Amino acid sequence: MKPLEFKEATIELKKPQSMDEKDCGSLFIHQADGACTSLWTAPFWKRVQFLIQGKMWLTVLSGSSQPPVKLEIKKNAVKEN
């Protein structure tokens, strides 16, 4: 999976200095109403794999607990102002 830059993004989150570019890159987010939304894409073979398996894993590097998260598949999850 690869994060994408998108026109509604309001913030660019930079990678931690302790990580290199192959492990982590910038994440563009739209921040509003207490939520941060990012846009991701996947190569064709990963899309086929998801279609067959119907499973996706989410890992969040945030410490000892999991913050609330949501995965969606829709055209645009960000409301334009």
SS3 content of the chain, % helix, strand, coil (to 5): 10, 25, 65
pTM, rounded to two decimals = 0.78
Whole-number average pLDDT of the chain:
86
Domain boundaries, the chain: 1-75
pLDDT surpasses 60 at 20: yes
pLDDT, tens only, 31-43: 988 888 999 999 9
- Asked if 4 and 26 count as a contact pair (C-beta separation under 8 A), the reply is no
pLDDT surpasses 50 at 81: no
pLDDT surpasses 90 at 47: yes
The residue ranking higher by pLDDT, 72 or 65, is: 72
State the pLDDT at residue 80: 57
